[in-house]
Amino acid sequence: MPEKVSLSRTIIRTAGLLAILTTIMSLFLVCFIYLSSGSEKELLHLAGGDYLLSCGLWLSLASLLFGLMSILTASGLTDRKNWSRLTSFLTAVILTLLVPIGTIFGLKLLFNFFSQEMKSWFNSDKHNYPGGTASQQKPGIKLELLIDEADSQPANRSNT
């Protein structure tokens, strides 16, 4: 696996794991606020807990979906799945919105996404050359094949 693809996979997987951790922490916080407010809903309203209760579940769901998408994207990058290109781009865009650390990681992912190394990682699987994929092929293998064919043709003519 090329270095930029490996780095992108690590960033995406880490972002996914952190998103799942965020889900767990926000659900714990929502439950704690709801249970600690007791019967006095006025205290809950003054502390801003009612806003957190209404938006906290949506935040947890969004974090969980982002985390699952990121982990699936990281595994898709390893297997050169075409859908992982789209989801890695979406992950990079979402990460750029998460200031400050997410922006740095998101920009790095975007730079890696448009690099030649990433493009060749996905395109090398589609071209099967006689010497292997384009990245595994020796520079002069086509010339060697032509020389071998030229050597075998005069031998066939002399036998007839």
Q: Give 2-50 pLDDT, tens digit per residue.
A: 899 999 999 999 999 999 999 999 899 888 877 877 767 777 777 777 7
Closest CA to 94 of 5, 22, 1: 22
Task: Judge whether residue 128 has pLDDT over 50.
Answer: no
Tokens representing 94? 């979402």
Q: How far is CA 103 from the centre of its chain?
A: 15
Task: Write down the pLDDT at residue 130.
Answer: 47
Task: Judge whether residue 151 has pLDDT over 80.
Answer: no
Q: Which amino acid appears at position 1 of this protein?
A: M
Between 25 and 145, the higher pLDDT residue: 25
Query: Do the Cβ atoms of 102 and 95 come closer than 8 Å?
Result: yes
Tokens representing 33? 């606020």
Between 147 and 82, the higher pLDDT residue: 82
Summarize the confidence of residues 69-85 as an average pLDDT: 92
Domain count across the chain: 2
**Same domain for 35 and 83?**
yes
**Same domain for 16 and 86?**
yes
Task: Write down the pLDDT at residue 9.
Answer: 94
**Same domain for 14 and 62?**
yes
H or E stretch covering 69? helix 49-78
**Same domain for 112 and 135?**
no
**Same domain for 115 and 100?**
yes
Task: Judge whether residue 144 has pLDDT over 70.
Answer: no
**Same domain for 100 and 155?**
no
**Same domain for 144 and 119?**
no
Whole-angstrom distance, CA of residue 130 vs CA of residue 118 = 23
Between 91 and 141, the higher pLDDT residue: 91
- Mean of all residue pLDDT scores within the chain: 80
Closest CA to 19 of 61, 54, 82: 61
In the chain, the percentage of residues whose pLDDT exceeds 90 is: 42
**Same domain for 115 and 136?**
no
**Same domain for 108 and 146?**
no
Range of the domain at 155: 131-160
Summarize the confidence of residues 107-132 as an average pLDDT: 77
Query: Do the Cβ atoms of 70 and 8 come closer than 8 Å?
Result: no
**Same domain for 90 and 140?**
no
**Same domain for 41 and 96?**
yes
